[in-house]
């Protein structure tokens, strides 16, 4: 995956309104005005967010003249998630160090539960 | 996790130089000048990137006066990765639809291998 594509994905996700739009689209296709409804925002402002999402390939828009439904395109999220996976051992190491510390202090609580929650 | 924290994480990751700095830090702590070396960039430009990473909590910097080593702090990546996990079924659905299509056309190749590669 080109570095530039990954940058576009992350930049598109760096906004709570855009993440809320994606969350809404997990429930199915929606028109631009349906997507605009929950936000205290002008239609042009929402359209601007949709363009950022579209350029990042995170949504696509139908061609029907009247009702141009937007739909979620999750593939860039898969690629971004794969990039993050390569750091998993680094965030898990922090918990391993906590485990070691707890054991060395003779705590009776045992290792934290989250350690077993590998997906 | 506050939406704002997630936005900061994604904004910090939306740059190939900053991602390269994080990748370098997976190998261990490094000074600012060590981090600047591989980039065709001024020290102030690299420092600016480091500040973005630091504000997002993705790196921390030691207090030693002379050699202030930077280190990776992977926890925000874990939180961002968890956010992405909630979209997993959506990117997997696309492959399920491809499977169905291949089966309906009676193709003998069987379902694509990637379907079993759940982590």
The 10s digit of each residue's pLDDT in B73-103 is 999 999 999 999 999 999 887 666 666 767 7
Q: What is the ipTM of this complex?
A: 0.78
Query: Measured between CB atoms, does A108 come within 8 Å of chain B?
Result: no
A42, A27 Cβ separation under 8 angstroms: no
Grouping H, G, I as helix, E, B as strand and the rest as coil, residue A109 is: coil
Quote the CA–CA distance of A30 and A33 in Å, as a whole number. 8
Which residues in A lie closer than 8 A to residue B10 (C-beta atoms)?
Answer: 10-11, 13-14
As a residue count, chain A comes to 119
The 10s digit of each residue's pLDDT in B46-78 is 999 999 999 999 999 988 767 789 999 999 999
**Considering only alpha carbons, which residue of chain B is nearest residue A18?**
B7
| Reported pTM | 0.78
Strand pairing partners for B61? B70
* Mutate which: A87, A93, A98, A117, vs B, most B CBs within 10 A: A87
């Amino acid at each position: 995956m080109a570095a530039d594509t990954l940058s576009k994905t992350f930049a598109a996700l760096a906004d709570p309104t855009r993440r809320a739009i994606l969350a809404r689209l997990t429930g199915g296709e929606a028109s631009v005005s349906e997507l605009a409804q929950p936000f205290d925002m002008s239609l042009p402002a929402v359209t601007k967010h949709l363009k950022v999402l579209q350029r990042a390939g995170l949504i696509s828009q139908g061609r029907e003249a009247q009702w141009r439904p937007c739909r979620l395109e999750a593939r860039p999220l898969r690629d971004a998630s794969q990039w993050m996976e390569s750091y998993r051992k680094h965030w898990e190491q922090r918990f391993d160090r906590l485990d070691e510390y707890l054991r060395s202090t003779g705590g009776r609580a045992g290792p934290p539960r989250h350690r077993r929650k590998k997906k």
